Amino acid sequence: MAKRSQEAPFVRWSRRTGELMLGNAALQLHIRTRDGLNPCRLVQRRTGRVYADGDYCYVSPDTPLPPIQEPPQIGQLEDGTYRVTLRARIDTLLVEHAFRATASALEEQLTVTNAGEQPLDLRDAVFGFTRNLLEGESLCADLQGSRFYPIPYRREPFNGQFLDMTADDLLSRQGGFYFWSFDMVPQLILTVAFGSEAWAWVDADAEHALLIAKHNPDAMEWSLLQPFQREGKTYLRFGGAGLWKLGDPEPVAQLDPWQSFRFGVTRFVACEGGWKGAFYVFREWTETLGHRFPANYDPPVHWNELYDNPLWWGPDTPERRQEVYQLSDMEAEAEKAAEIGCEALYLDPGWDTLFASSVWAEDRLGTQRDFVRWLEERYGMRLALHNPLAAWCDINGYPMEARRKDKDGQVLPALCSASPAYLQTKAERLVQLCRDGASFLMYDGAMFTGECYDESHGHSLPLTRHEHCMAILQLLQAVKREFPQVLIELHDPVVGGSMIRYAPTYFLHALPGSSDELWGYEYMWETMDDLRSGRSLSLYYVNLAYSIPIYLHIDLRKDNEHALVFWWYASTCRHLGVGGKHPDPKVWEAHKRAMQTYRSLKPFYTRGTFYGIDETVHAHTLWSKNLPAQGTVAVLNVFNLAETEVEREIRFHLSDIGLPEGLSVRATDAPCHQRDAQITLWARLPALGHQLISLEVSE
């Protein structure tokens, strides 16, 4: 497990020298103020590692250090945390730079205000600590061997490539991100900065790391790394703030007179345990911010009728819905769901009157309340529904007032996600679905609907991505106000259902009345290929970094007799859905056995803590020091992604999977040896196979 030093934080301020020291047992920040506001030196106290050694960057590398407007404001909270606020001015831009020192972390947060009489363009503004990278033409000696790991996407979900970098890579590569929309194919867009939700800056010893994490609940923002030139030297900028991707956070791109914007918090933590330790520290922090599974989380396993339903695989017309999406068709799917052991029937496109109308098709399926009653009484199952949003729907199901307008005032054949007519209509329909018994809603089709110039909608002209996201939040809150127990999954609120993540993973989650679950990056189609290509290996890293539940349904027809696909996604998606009856009876029977085992261990997968021994060995631990240690305390999933049989020796310490070192355990289904806190397991796995191992407390 990751380790962090904890000691009372401190602040030392000298009015005579104008210097301020802020820190804790692990990190110390030196701030100079005499010649301008300058947080200039950040040091790891125990190792002596210097992370920042140059003048802070305000607005641009060439901007002079801004003079402070008043002495630092220093306060201390009841828990011992110190807060220091400094204020400076750069022409018409007011800058408030706040720092916090806790026992385990340092934090900074910037607030900017336009004090001028004209709008202020901040699209190219950058802020951040700086570190000299070169000695002559060579990398600084203490940076050689350092690596930078993006959190949570060490692997890119779109193609499975590793994204971690050496310090040399920062100088030779470009940053970038993947993007797509309905009018473009997925493409890589290059940027001058490297962006991520957080970074693990790992020393050459692969043990010590600095976590540089960004969190902004109110706007899309990332932690940025950017090499730059200043006075003939090459520096790395980190921390601070800046715009990235398509220009987010949008609300700060241009400030009107006396308008302010507060950037998100950047958190710095000195970690042990290398890159993985930094992932765990990040996860622990985001859990304190509400980014975890709901209390008493027990999502029903879904059966998705789509895979075996011919509607999806052909044109979706009213005639074909009449032909292949009747009550009798859903009865056949419910029988499969019951046979394999699912707990809910998930209806994908076809259950409503028009595509994404969110109006139950009573003429084909009977009333929704009767359908829900039948599911419950006959199978003990619940109802889950697919509900695409404005970007992906039959626009004829919504009022004309909900449509977009171009800059010439022409009405477009598309909906505006922020139009009042759309929001009211959609919210009323979603709430009615819950009144009639839906227990789960998927918000698919969440991609940005595009520019809209209709003044009557009340949004900016044109509509912004940020306003689009806030409109989605309104639809989430409309349901949650009346039905807080209904689970809601939200796709990426900018690019929707794809293998691309645009918004920060946590964005919109944990806000009042927001969604419960993330989407599993569209790994629902080519489930085996996504795994073997490395694409869905990205789920491993997301679970190391977040406890936000991921929902995904998977095509079992692409699986094998070892249920490799089933177990991979069961291990990496806290809310599991399946569908598609495999044509090979042997594989179908394997799936039924796997589901029975999964259901018996389900709390470990839905509410357990996820730990990674490596990409192919996962542990799910349910342990509390407040409860007596007995029975099964962890389950391990071991995967073989090779086409040949393998024998594996798996070594780890109990603390690596969240168990106390004094615990005595034994393993089921695998030879096991314990020496003090070190566990050794041996497993023989068939080609493209899986083995489940339970750890139980020994007498």
| Of the candidate ranges 248-252, 293-297, 414-418, 477-481, the one whose mean pLDDT is the lowest | 293-297
Question: Token pair 């000298």 is at which residue?
Answer: 14
- Per residue in 370-380, pLDDT (tens digit) is 999 999 999 99
Nearest alpha carbon to residue 128 among 257, 51, 237:
237
Query: Domain for residue 417, yes or no?
Result: yes
Q: What's the Cα-to-Cα distance from 494 to each of 288, 391, 398, rounded to whole Å? A: 26, 10, 21
Domain end point (choices 237, 253, 288): 288
Listing DSSP states for 23-44 in one string gives E-SSEEEEEE-TTS-EEEEEEE
Task: Grade residue 2 by pLDDT with cuts at 50, 70 and 90.
Answer: low
- CATH classification of the domain holding 350: 3.20.20.70
- Asked whether residue 601 falls in the same domain as residue 621, the answer is no
The pair of structure tokens assigned to 422 is 């759309």
Task: Grade residue 303 by pLDDT with cuts at 50, 70 and 90.
Answer: very high
- Asked whether residue 372 falls in the same domain as residue 434, the answer is yes
pLDDT(259) > 80: yes
Angle of the 585-600 helix axis to the 327-340 helix axis, nearest 10? 70
Which residues, at least 6 apart from 251, have a Cβ–Cβ distance to it below 8 Å?
A: 219, 261, 466
- Asked whether residue 572 falls in the same domain as residue 685, the answer is no
Query: Domain for residue 148, yes or no?
Result: yes
- Coil, helix or strand at residue 401: helix
What are residue 604's phi and psi, to 5 degrees? -65, -35
CB 99 within 8 A of CB 107: yes
Give the CA radius of gyration of the chain: 27
Write down the mean pLDDT value for the chain: 96
Query: Domain for residue 379, yes or no?
Result: yes
Question: Token pair 């127990």 is at which residue?
Answer: 485
- Asked whether residue 261 falls in the same domain as residue 409, the answer is no
Task: Grade residue 6 by pLDDT with cuts at 50, 70 and 90.
Answer: low
CB 682 within 8 A of CB 693: no
Number of helices (H) and strands (E) in the chain: give both, helices first.
13, 44
DSSP code, position 352? B
Query: Strands 19-23 and 27-32: what pairing?
Result: antiparallel
> Which pLDDT value is given to residue 692?
98
What residues make up the domain containing 313? 302-607
- Asked whether residue 431 falls in the same domain as residue 375, the answer is yes
pLDDT(29) > 60: yes
User: From CA 22, how far away is CA 29, in angstroms rounded?
Assistant: 5
- Asked whether residue 661 falls in the same domain as residue 686, the answer is yes
DSSP code, position 65? P
Task: Grade residue 273 by pLDDT with cuts at 50, 70 and 90.
Answer: very high
Burial class (CB in 10 A: 0-12, 13-18, 19+), 18: middle
User: From CA 508, how far away is CA 215, in angstroms rounded?
Assistant: 11
Across 455-563, the runs of DSSP E, i.e. the strands, are: 487-490, 517-519, 550-555
Query: Domain for residue 376, yes or no?
Result: yes
Question: Token pair 């027990």 is at which residue?
Answer: 298
User: From CA 521, how far away is CA 491, in angstroms rounded?
Assistant: 8
- Per residue in 342-391, pLDDT (tens digit) is 999 999 999 999 999 999 999 999 999 999 999 999 999 999 999 999 99
What are residue 562's phi and psi, to 5 degrees? -95, 0
Q: Which H or E run includes 265?
A: strand 265-272
- Per residue in 630-688, pLDDT (tens digit) is 789 999 999 999 999 999 999 999 999 999 988 999 999 999 999 999 999 999 999 99
Q: What's the Cα-to-Cα distance from 126 to each of 163, 226, 530, 541, rounded to whole Å? A: 23, 10, 37, 29
- Asked whether residue 70 falls in the same domain as residue 178, the answer is yes
Find residue 236's DSSP bridge partners: 131, 227
CB 690 within 8 A of CB 562: yes
User: From CA 470, how far away is CA 485, in angstroms rounded?
Assistant: 22
Q: What's the Cα-to-Cα distance from 54 to each of 99, 172, 240, rounded to whole Å? A: 18, 21, 14
> Which pLDDT value is given to residue 494?
98
- CATH classification of the domain holding 183: 2.70.98
User: From CA 406, how far away is CA 410, in angstroms rounded?
Assistant: 5
- Per residue in 307-340, pLDDT (tens digit) is 999 999 999 999 999 999 999 999 999 999 999 9
- CATH classification of the domain holding 639: 2.60.40
Query: Domain for residue 4, yes or no?
Result: no
Task: Grade residue 167 by pLDDT with cuts at 50, 70 and 90.
Answer: very high
- Asked whether residue 321 falls in the same domain as residue 260, the answer is no
Query: Domain for residue 593, yes or no?
Result: yes
> Which pLDDT value is given to residue 3?
53
Query: Domain for residue 117, yes or no?
Result: yes
> Which pLDDT value is given to residue 225?
98
Q: Which H or E run includes 278?
A: helix 274-288
- Per residue in 109-153, pLDDT (tens digit) is 999 999 999 999 999 999 999 999 999 999 999 999 999 999 999
- Asked whether residue 445 falls in the same domain as residue 593, the answer is yes
- Asked whether residue 655 falls in the same domain as residue 593, the answer is no
Q: Which H or E run includes 441?
A: strand 438-443
Specify the higher pLDDT residue, 6 or 466: 466
- Count how many domains the chain has: 3
- Asked whether residue 220 falls in the same domain as residue 312, the answer is no
Report the 3 state secondary structure along 413-428: EEECCCCHHHHHHHHH
- Coil, helix or strand at residue 220: coil
User: From CA 487, how far away is CA 481, in angstroms rounded?
Assistant: 13
- Asked whether residue 451 falls in the same domain as residue 598, the answer is yes
Report the 3 state secondary structure along 150-177: EECCCECCCCCCECCEEHHHHHHCCEEE
Domain end point (choices 607, 630, 660): 607
Find residue 126's DSSP bridge partners: 59, 242
Q: What's the Cα-to-Cα distance from 524 to each of 96, 266, 527, 559, 598, rounded to whole Å? A: 46, 34, 6, 12, 19
Nearest alpha carbon to residue 555 among 288, 308, 208:
308
Q: Which H or E run includes 673?
A: strand 672-675
Query: Strands 665-668 and 487-490: what pairing?
Result: unpaired
